[in-house]
Chain A
């Protein structure tokens, strides 16, 4: 894998030599995230978020497995066992708050990771497979997060489950049998809760498996970099360890400071008070909203209020919501510009920031009540979301005149330092 100048694993200790002969696992790790993996020398802090997502997954698995030790997956006791975990179990409150906020932070770093990929064109050849596998991970994360949110069996849990499984009910003919099959009943109940618990426990390990594929696919061409210019020789790379283990280590420190700040000082800020009321099938909360990380998609779902060409509004909303994610699977072939990095694409860069604003506005509308003006704003911004990928990106690729690219990664790095030296003459060159 990777580049011919990569450092070779040469165990010195006889024990490590013995292990290397029988099971070369240390060799695999060395080549994957050690000194044996050469990485472009110019990565900025946006390249931290892959590792941060891995850290977030580990936090979720550790706190989740512990929570499962104190949880009863039965609709009669689920709510009270979660409250027991909070009040009676030693450090149970810490586990639950870390797990609930850990999910939010997992999505924060994954969204930043995705937008990093969008801005720097990380989805382009030869890294299409990395992007596609990343989207699979994203879909698995959404399924896992949704099912996890049902487990405390509060009002938002119950009604979220009802609304989301109701999405499948919108499919013509087979929709209702599918919805009943998913729930194991005509409404969310004990059967639904139990299967969601089982799958919520399973899927994180599936995610871990797909992450291995994601990294494997990444290591074939090697990491992208902020210039988007491919690595040309040993002068363009540094070994992952110690250079990026150190840089990622710093990022992990910052991440943990922010995570613990929310965890200890505002643990319920990102949640909904309604979920501290036990599930009641006869009373819908006045304002059902999913967790914040689903809001942009929820806004797209709700943007369709009238039938169109005999397709019911309900089905249109569901199709649009799924399409908004499935669309991203075609992105490597929609953006045909050969230039990867947004640094060198003046038109693309403007529309990228418009897309960010668009998604943020959709997110705001998704969290707002289903009334005007939010419905109309959702309609406009959902339309723009699709236009960005289906119309604007292909057109930019055709008409944009990119800025001149640096000859190599090293050239761009040296040019940057030469410029910095020119401005601050007092600093010596080395």
Chain B
């Protein structure tokens, strides 16, 4: 550009300091830049979950076989789901705790459906780094608070699946669900 200005500065300049060529240069580069961004969008977006992964699946769970104190593991959107019937002692233990002392303050009522406080339905995904906590299976370690225990980094959840100890920041997530009958729920 310097050479153009030097050889023929007058005829190319549209005004003082701004030349037609500068305008063309900026316009062309800007247009290419916008084009590059537009092309980048699908290149990035293709990594997001595809339609088949996103296709929302709701899961129906039959509760009739789950005895108080028992829990089952099932899957919801390809992730583990814990369905647990609490014993009266476990409910009492969860109610005894003052929510304001918790890391993620919630009461058992807030985490269950009205009148069906014994049914604790949570994702089986530790809120730390996504491991499956122990405690739903028969004879598994339930940790020092009697709920769930994540073996990866030692997070302990209580009988309302609230985080009590260890690195996890949140309580186990309660997915959206509703009772379709007294002994069945629909998750999702």
Contact = CB atoms under 8 A, between A and B. Distances in A.
A165 B125 CA distance: 14
B152 interface: yes
Contacts of A307: 103, 169
Give the most central of A283, A286, A314: most B CB within 10 Å.
A314
A305 B80 CA distance: 25
9 contacts: A159-B152, A163-B129, A163-B130, A166-B130, A181-B44, A191-B53, A284-B150, A305-B166, A315-B169
Given A186-B78, A282-B132, A314-B128, 4 more contacts: A162-B129, A184-B47, A286-B151, A314-B169
Contact of B154 (A162, A185, A304, A375): A375
A313 B167 contact: yes
Given A286-B151, A288-B151, A370-B152, A187 B131 contact: no
B77 to A, nearest CB: 6
A182 interface: yes
Nearest to B48: A181
A233 interface: no
Contacts of B80: 281-282
B13 interface: no
Given A184-B48, A185-B49, A305-B166, A284 B151 contact: yes
B73 A314 contact: no
Contact of A304 (B73, B129, B167): B167
Contacts of A369: 151
List 10 A-B pairs, minimum CB-CB distance, nearest first.
A166-B129, A312-B169, A370-B154, A166-B130, A284-B132, A163-B129, A284-B131, A162-B130, A313-B167, A370-B153
A182 B129 CA distance: 15
Contacts of A286: 151
Contact of B153 (A195, A285, A302, A315): A302
Contacts of B131: 159, 162-163, 284, 288
A375 B78 CA distance: 32
Contacts of B73: 282
Given A162-B131, A282-B132, A195 B79 contact: no
A169 B47 CA distance: 16
A126 B53 CA distance: 52
Interface in B35-50: 44, 47-50
A6 to B, nearest CB: 37
Contacts of B127: 314
B77 A186 contact: yes
B10 interface: no
A165 B130 CA distance: 9
Interface in B78-133: 78-80, 103, 124, 127-133
Contact of A191 (B50, B134, B150, B153): B50
A314 B53 contact: no
Contacts of B129: 162-163, 166-167, 169-170, 314
B180 interface: no
Interface of B: 44, 47-50, 53, 73, 75, 77-80, 103, 124, 127-134, 150-154, 166-169
Contacts of B130: 162-163, 165-166, 169, 187
A371 interface: yes
B79 A186 contact: yes
Contacts of A166: 128-130
A194 to B, nearest CB: 11
A189 interface: yes
A370 B165 CA distance: 12
Could you say which of B48, B132, B153 has the most chain A C-beta atoms within 10 Å of its C-beta?
B153
A287 interface: yes
A324 interface: no
A319 to B, nearest CB: 13
A317 interface: yes
A292 B138 CA distance: 32
Contact of A180 (B49, B133, B167): B49
Nearest to B134: A284
B177 to A, nearest CB: 17
A157 to B, nearest CB: 14
Interface in A297-347: 302, 304-305, 307, 312-315, 317
B167 A185 contact: no
Interface string A224-251: 0000000000000000000000000000
A294 to B, nearest CB: 14
B151 A287 contact: yes
Contact of B79 (A165, A184, A281, A284): A281
